[in-house]
Structure 1
Amino acid sequence: MADGDRAEAASAESELEPLRFQRLWGEGYFEVPASERLGKCRSVKEFEKLNRIGEGTYGIVYRARDTVTDETVALKKVRMDNEKEGMPVSSLREITLLLELQHPNIVELKEVVVGNHLESIFLVMGYCEQDLASLLENMQTPFSEAQVKCIILQVLKGLQYLHERYIIHRDLKVSNLLMTDKGCVKIADFGLARTYGMPPQPMTPKVVTLWYRAPELLLGVTTQTTSIDMWAVGCILAELLAHKPLLPGTSEIHQIDLIVQLLGTPNENIWPGFSKLPLVSQYTLRKQPYNNLKHKFPWLSEAGLRLLNFLFMYDPKKRATAKDSLDSSYFKEKPLPCEPELMPTFPHHRNKRAASTSTGTETQAKRAKP
């Protein structure tokens, strides 16, 4: 047991200090009865921590057992290290969004539970045995094309559900895609997710892990739509097909150069407004007139190449939507997508999953080829 867990257990055993709050009206204080100390939340003491399965930017994740229902769950402790005025905004956003979402391909937030202190807050999530980044690192045999189609179809269904509700995930990558031992893929880590409206409001372009970041973000666009998620889907699809990251840039300049090498140099004809993008004058783009996707994937069918090209449209307004992609003939041709329950299982990787919510390239850098 970690020192922090021992301290928490010891604190739980000791007599709790009564909570006293100053009255808003009138003078003096009032005490909160012990029976109402946790409000409507359950106590984290009702969960048995089995093992720590990861640590990300926004908190530590444990595999745990709900002692009331005997269900295995993921227990995510909200990181409060540097917070002086309550819960981090990123965690509040994640909780608010996830409590409203119910879809087979979105990770489930079951409830919020609390420890003995006001700053001890845990999210009880549905437990998934794997994340795709760890699987890609450890699999001896890569996913077949039928299995890749099965994974991407599930991601697209989850995204369609989000996008219909005007939610942008803003951090799609293989390490944020979880998979149960039944082959069900779930989109996770909503710390950077945002709702958007029309007209779109300005947001920081410093989102999405670099390797999956759309060109409009790299060039400084601050009004974001669901198209940034769809570019990331193209990167994930290509990564699963190629068995390695498609665009493993080491800096924003390098990332743009890799995109241009692959897709050709953008211009006003294919991307109206390109020359007026905020950062375009800061880069000298190489002159590359060709789209090299076909050379990158010579074995891929015409339908598969059409889908990739549709996802990699430079102009965000012309890029494929989740619905467009679900309707692609690529998923209707052989090899047909396998059923989720026929996906391979990986018992030897179970419970070793590393949860990453970083917006950098730390997790992916381990898999980058020299």
Structure 2
Amino acid sequence: MPPRKKALPRPLPEGWIVTDAEKRQWRLGKMIGQGGFGLIYLASPGTGKHDEDEAEFVIKVEYKENGPLFSELKFYQRAAKPADIQKWMQVKRLRFLGIPKYCGHGIVEFDELSYRFMVIERLGKDLQHIFEKQGKMFKNQVVLNLGLKMLHVLEYIHENEYIHGDIKAANILLGFKDSNKLYLADYGLSYRYSPNQIHKKYEERPKKGHNGTIEYTSIDAHKGVAPSRRSDLEILGYCMLHWMCGKLPWEQYLNKPELVLEAKTKLMEKLPESVTQISPHGAKCGEIAKILSLVKKLGYDERPNYHMLQKILLDGLKETQKDFNDFLDFSPVSEVEAHGYCLYNELKPRTTQLLTKKKYAEDECNKLTGSDRQYEDEYLIQQANDDQIEFSWRKWCLLLVFLIILIVIVTLY
């Protein structure tokens, strides 16, 4: 009897040899995990027995009739060819782009059942495991760095007419032998938003609503709208907010999707105040609020300004005196240490900070042309206004404190 579609497959025996479409043989090791519809095994090339602790590949297995692994396989074949990724990295001057390396695929028969399998490089622990272990809160600079690395991946995916569709900590994994490398994995819900360069039309389909991981899925997905580039960016914004604050405003409604949609809509409508209100004491979520504000303004089929989104996070990293390529420090810290600024930064003369920001912004603007400059100018104008308001507010507060002290002194003497 054929298996029920989308059922979790029966395990294959350890040591089983499978042959991919290129006639390469792979030996299955022990099973190390399972997803919604598939199993994951350690794997080694060839037929000989290998040290499993050093295995550098994994094999994902699903019943042939299932869809997620087929979708993931098509993504790798169409949009994630190693040569294309390498070329992109050279053009963008990136040292690394966090998309797992695809190694092969095939169909195997076992016990009168057909299985589809795909071979990719082995990865390490997932971010969800680390997030929970460290008390469900990451340092400010870690969140900004994570967001920046994921933005680079999303830009590449989107430029190849795909969206990821299910960004979350459980799908972001460290490298197997290099824990400072982060990969966005699991493309089972990946989707071609613009096949043949024709963007999908906006259409609300309530019967298909609330698809994806309920905590992070986009407002469009709640309404049954086909995912788009802005959906991926909205999901990433919610993830960053969770990593920074340790909670989301709709956590108590996860079994009631309509209330989750209502809470997300309210948050997006009242930006940036809505983000500030849920931020713990000392947290700096301004960058997340800015990113979500830009996402809110995006049209359904509009190309995001990735440069500006990345720059927002880069500016935040500069203020924490951290670099995009710095080692990711996932060590547990107190809430204040996680989100508070270094005291040294707070004691810097504010005018010096503003001049530094202005010089950096001018240098960046000189590199831009066309639509990038238009978006950049809007961002810089808003940033300058925010800085000026903050500076004026602090100046008048200090003057008021000085006057109060003066009055007290005169009264006493």
| TM norm structure 2 | 0.59
- CA deviation after TM superposition for structure 1 residue 243, in Å: 2.5
Are the aligned partners of 1:43 and 1:115 in contact in 2 as well (CA < 8 Å)? no
Higher RCO (CA 8 Å, separation ≥ 6 residues): 1
Are the aligned partners of 1:61 and 1:74 in contact in 2 as well (CA < 8 Å)? no
Residue identity opposite 2:215 in structure 1: W
Q: How does 1:309-324 map to 2 (within 5 A)?
A: 309-312=293-296, 316=300, 321-324=305-308
TM-aligned CA distance change 1:98 to 1:263, over 3 Å:
same
- CA deviation after TM superposition for structure 1 residue 129, in Å: 0.9
Residue identity opposite 2:35 in structure 1: G
Which residue matches 1:294? 276
Are the aligned partners of 1:182 and 1:340 in contact in 2 as well (CA < 8 Å)? no
RMSD, aligned CA? 3.5
For residue 56 of structure 2, the aligned residue among 73, 78, 96 is 73
Q: How far, CA to CA, are the matches of 2:267 and 2:210 in structure 1?
A: 23
For residue 52 of structure 1, the aligned residue among 26, 31, 35 is 31
Q: How far, CA to CA, are the matches of 1:141 and 1:92 in structure 2?
A: 33
Is 1:244 matched with 2:223?
Answer: no
Q: Deviations over 1:129-188 (max 9, x none)?
A: 111111111125843211222211110000000011110111111211112243111111
Are the aligned partners of 1:215 and 1:314 in contact in 2 as well (CA < 8 Å)? no
How many residues end up aligned between the 2 structures?
287
Residue identity opposite 1:215 in structure 2: I
Is 1:95 matched with 2:73?
Answer: yes
Is 1:179 matched with 2:174?
Answer: yes
Residue 293 of structure 1 aligns to a residue whose secondary structure is: helix
Which residue matches 1:359? none
Which residue matches 1:333? 318
Residue identity opposite 1:200 in structure 2: K
Q: How far, CA to CA, are the matches of 1:138 and 1:206 in structure 2?
A: 29
Is 1:254 matched with 2:249?
Answer: no
Are the aligned partners of 2:57 and 2:122 in contact in 1 as well (CA < 8 Å)? yes
Unaligned 5+ runs, structure 1: 13-36, 81-85, 266-288, 347-370
Q: How far, CA to CA, are the matches of 2:179 and 2:330 in structure 1?
A: 8
- CA deviation after TM superposition for structure 1 residue 246, in Å: 5.3
Q: Deviations over 1:15-58 (max 9, x none)?
A: xxxxxxxxxxxxxxxxxxxxxx865232333x5x1x43211123
Q: How does 1:201-212 map to 2 (within 5 A)?
A: 201=201, 205-212=209-216
Are the aligned partners of 1:247 and 1:258 in contact in 2 as well (CA < 8 Å)? yes
- CA deviation after TM superposition for structure 1 residue 227, in Å: 0.7
Q: How does 1:218-229 map to 2 (within 5 A)?
A: 218-222=222-226, 224-229=227-232
Q: How far, CA to CA, are the matches of 2:292 and 2:23 in structure 1?
A: 45
Which residue matches 1:110? 103
Which protein is bigger by CA-based radius of gyration? Answer: 2
Is 1:152 matched with 2:165?
Answer: no
Are the aligned partners of 2:211 and 2:224 in contact in 1 as well (CA < 8 Å)? no
Residue identity opposite 1:259 in structure 2: K
- CA deviation after TM superposition for structure 1 residue 315, in Å: 6.1
Residue identity opposite 2:267 in structure 1: L
Identity, in percent, stands at 17
- CA deviation after TM superposition for structure 1 residue 230, in Å: 0.7
Q: How far, CA to CA, are the matches of 1:305 and 1:5 in structure 2?
A: 47
- CA deviation after TM superposition for structure 1 residue 127, in Å: 1.5
Residue 75 of structure 1 aligns to a residue whose secondary structure is: strand
- CA deviation after TM superposition for structure 1 residue 96, in Å: 1.7
Q: How far, CA to CA, are the matches of 1:323 and 1:232 in structure 2?
A: 18
Are the aligned partners of 2:276 and 2:285 in contact in 1 as well (CA < 8 Å)? no
